[in-house]
Amino acid sequence: MNAASVTPSLREINDLPSPRGLPLLGNLHQLPPATHHLTLERWAAELGTPYVFRFGATPVTVWNDIELSHAVMRERPHRYRRYAPIENILKEFGCNGLFSIEGAAWEPQRRLVMQALSIPHIKAFYPTLAAITERLRRRWEAAAHAGRVVEMTEDLKRFTVDVTSALAFGEDPNTLENERVLIQEQLAMLLPTLMARVNAPFAYWHYVKFPRDRKFDEAMIDVHRHIRELMARARARMREEAAAQAHETPQAPRNLLDAMLALRDAPGSGITDDEVAANVLTMLVAGEETTATSIAWALLFLGTDDALQARVSACARRVLGGSVVCPSYGAMRELDLCEAVCTEASRLHPVAPYLSFEPLEEVRLQGVRLPAGTKIFMLHRPAMLDPHNYADPERYDPDRWLHDHRQENASPRGAHEPRAYLQFGAGPRVCPGRHLAAVEMRLVISMLTANFTAQLATNPGDIREICTFTAVPSEMPMRLALR
């Protein structure tokens, strides 16, 4: 018996409600990759959960229960693992790092990454974070002077790539000031390709390569060449520093890459260069996509609500004083509203619409018997739109995330269940980058609203969710003007 609830009457997977499919294909034809998450949510509303759909002959169970989600995530990695096709395909990409790796290799890698993304490390890194934010401000200032519409999602991805690279690897590619940086364009191909291959009925690319597959393979060759060069430069610098400090106490590794290389090169480590490279690539991709998307969704609401934008601007200007970027880590902690606008946006537009798991042994969840290896999708948005979890859940209301406001207005504001917000996961494998993400959100939103007015340059109704492993906006064009 596991931590999840069980009903007395045991059901099998085939007893669950299911959308009508086709022989051999199952429901594949009803699940276009870009919008399949919306179809899964619609079926949940129509059929209730749990239900089952089929990738060809493979059944996938779909659930929408917060307590069950927390129970499953608490029991990782010993009872559940991430959806196996994700790890298998990321291995092919050379990107099977902390996000997807399973088994005994996970824990030592987790310790390394947690150290690199710890609060003391982020605090020490803050001057570099502020400098990269100032670089983004200058880019937007130039666009405002030129009257140029800015595609915000792309600029935000450049910002997060620069931050992640500087923090984790000690090298800043400066994609914000170098208009064409190949690594950023190549990284942008990885998650869409992962989504397409995870959803493919069979591994066709093992037998035939279409032009898009060949283009992706060439991009990954270049990315891995870049990563190996990064590792070689780090090793050379570490040797020089060790020689210069031969009679002194060795310094602690200065970033994640240094720490991984020191561990890999220690006698008997059992870690390979391939594993180090996989974690470098994992950090680059994860650092680019999720935080940039969370901020971009917040701009949809700020860019269409002048009163809210003015309020956030006043909050930012009060904290920033005469600075154009938040001047210190301590001051950044006062920008709760700037983080709240992003959190609330990703409640309505979750960056991760669902998480996918498999049990490593037979389990029984809510009276359903699931053999080992059964595919499990845990939907996020339905719980975040449930009035039992959030009062007036369809309304965009950043104040629901402000602690003081909730305390002062607890009774009239109604339900607020933070455990229903699972954008960073939960349990032992909760996202190690969540603090860095919060700092980036606060820095960018405060810089934007303190220095610019921003208006959405398209009809809000034309902006759609596109699932490229994460749910990104189809576009986020904005016109900026200096305040």
The beta strands (E) that lie in 289-359 are given as 354-359
CB contact at 8 A, 94 and 376: no
Q: For residue 200, how many C-alpha atoms fall within 13 Å in the half-sphere facing its CB? A: 15
CA dist., res. 193 & res. 100, Å (int): 16
Closest CA to 51 of 188, 419, 60, 269: 60
CB contact at 8 A, 98 and 432: yes
CA dist., res. 344 & res. 356, Å (int): 23
Q: Token pair for residue 139?
A: 């880019």
Closest CA to 316 of 338, 294, 341, 342: 338
431 annotated ligand-binding residue: yes
- With residue 45 as reference, give the H or E element that holds it: helix 36-47
Q: Token pair for residue 232?
A: 């070689």
CA 269 to chain CA centroid, nearest Å: 30
CA 299 to chain CA centroid, nearest Å: 17
Residue type, 473: P
CB contact at 8 A, 402 and 337: yes
Q: What residue numbers does the annotated binding site for heme cover?
A: 431
Residue list for the binding site: 431
